[in-house]
Amino acid sequence: MEVDGDVTRILMGVNESSMKGYPHPSISSRNAFEWTLSKIVRSNLAGFKLLFLYVQVPDEDGFDDMDSIYASPEDFQSMKERDKIRGLHLLEYFVGRCHQIGISCAAWIRKGDPKEVICSEVKRVQPDMLVVGSRGLGPFQRVFVGTVSEFCVKHADCPVITIKRKADEAPQDPIDD
Amino acid sequence: MEVDGDVTRILMGVNESSMKGYPHPSISSRNAFEWTLSKIVRSNLAGFKLLFLYVQVPDEDGFDDMDSIYASPEDFQSMKERDKIRGLHLLEYFVGRCHQIGISCAAWIRKGDPKEVICSEVKRVQPDMLVVGSRGLGPFQRVFVGTVSEFCVKHADCPVITIKRKADEAPQDPIDD
């Protein structure tokens, strides 16, 4: 019934779990995705298109690189490739789920500060809405709460859906998030 | 196709225009309502139920009461009735639109601080999401921006959609908002 081109385009900022060595989506990203499908898209698959943006953060503290030895410019190149592959695995998860379900999608990677990049991608892509997960108020995470989502609510040029994680969904160890 | 009872329940905090003598919905409330219909509900009318909450603020500055003379407890009673009627006209607008369109709805009035009341109603009613309009960044309105919506994003026990008004939709005189 719905005209092609007249779909609601939902941009989702997704991120990876911080669990080392597991390039899978964070609990918040998966929850935000499943929530969007069950509560907004519902049975109306043809009415929506999901856009996934993964923002790769330049690693400033070097923790991810504990096992790496850099001896030449090529070593840094291989690190960047590895990070890109992590991002691709993450997007593969969401694109795969969308194909299973039968909903139109697109996914891409950008580099930079997530909150700034998400807002500039909103300007560029002009989605109908932006979905951001927020890590909620787990006891170890209070200090990180809402930095990205708060910024996007204020600055993104489209309506923003903030999905907080419930306290009982927070992993015991924040490194597993 | 969808089972009765399995609908997405969307709570909308609505408010009135601050234009004197016009008990009609604010620009932000109407925009948030129309946006929800066109971008989320779309053609899937049976999949959604809209809940409208109007929070009547106790009038602290007395500006609304310039023409009133209070001489007895009954005078205060009549003031309260008048305020209630304003709220009812507001809800009548939204309920009327829903009936036109053919989407299930419910509407009610509560008294108190809007941000606190909205969050306590979320706890009580447990909607799937909360939609709040925000007045955006008009030049005269900066100081009021986002007090209700920011509080709800942080404290409401459900996903929150913040719909900012675009700067060019702000009325020239904030009293017309």
B15-to-A9, A98, A113, B30 alpha-carbon distances in Å: 28, 38, 36, 9
pLDDT tens for B98-156 read 999 999 999 999 989 999 999 999 999 999 999 998 765 544 444 444 588 889 998 99
B137 touches chain A (CB under 8 A): no
Residues of A with CB below 8 A from B47's CB?
42-44
B8 touches chain A (CB under 8 A): yes
Which has more pLDDT, A74 or B62? A74
Task: Quote the CA–CA distance of B103 and B41 in Å, as a whole number.
Answer: 9
For residue A90, what are its two tokens? 């993450």
Place of tokens 């923002």: A55
Per-position DSSP letters for B58-112, written without gaps between them = P-SS-GGGTT----SHHHHHHHHHHHHHHHHHHHHHHHHHHHHHT-EEEEEEEES
Best residue in A2, A9, A42 for a mutation probing chain B (most B CBs within 10 Å): A42
Q: Phi and psi at residue A138, in whole multiples of 5°?
A: -60, 150
What pLDDT sits at residue B145? 47
Q: Do B47 and A44 touch (CB under 8 A)?
A: yes
Which has more pLDDT, A66 or A9? A9
Q: Which residues contact B81 (CB under 8 A, 6 or more apart)?
A: none
Which has more pLDDT, A163 or B67? A163
Residues of B with CB below 8 A from A44's CB?
42-44, 47
pTM score > 0.90 for this model? no
**Mean pLDDT, to the nearest integer, of A55-75?**
65
Sheet strands side by side (includes B8-14): A104-111, A48-56, A8-14, A129-134, A160-164, B160-164, B129-134, B8-14, B48-56, B104-111
Give the pLDDT band of residue A1 (cuts 50, 70, 90). Answer: very low
Q: Do B44 and A47 touch (CB under 8 A)?
A: yes
B148 touches chain A (CB under 8 A): no
Which has more pLDDT, B170 or A130? A130
B40 touches chain A (CB under 8 A): yes
A119 touches chain B (CB under 8 A): no
For residue A104, what are its two tokens? 């139109």
Residues of B with CB below 8 A from A127's CB?
none
For residue B33, what are its two tokens? 């309502």
Burial B21-49, CB ≥16 within 10 A → b, else e: eebebbbbbbbbbebbbebbbbebebbbb
Q: Do A153 and B154 touch (CB under 8 A)?
A: no
Q: Do B1 and A43 touch (CB under 8 A)?
A: yes
Q: Which residues contact B49 (CB under 8 A, 6 or more apart)?
A: B7, B8, B9, B10, B103, B104, B105, B106
What pLDDT sits at residue A44? 97
Going by C-alpha positions, the residue among A132, A24, A20, A135 that lies closest to residue A87 is A24
Q: Do A43 and B39 touch (CB under 8 A)?
A: no
Mean pLDDT of chain B: 80
At residue B39, does pLDDT exceed 90?
yes
Going by C-alpha positions, the residue among B115, B136, B105 that lies closest to residue B36 is B105
**Mean pLDDT, to the nearest integer, of B42-57?**
94
Comparing A45-54, A155-164, B75-84, the range with the smallest average pLDDT is B75-84
At residue A123, does pLDDT exceed 50?
yes
pLDDT tens for A43-53 read 999 999 999 99
Q: Do B150 and A153 touch (CB under 8 A)?
A: yes
> B175 near B27, Cβ under 8 Å?
no
Helical (H) or strand (E) element with A122: helix A114-125
Closest Cα in chain B, distance from residue A112 (Å): 25
Interface size A-B, in CB pairs within 8 Å, comes to 60
What pLDDT sits at residue B90? 86
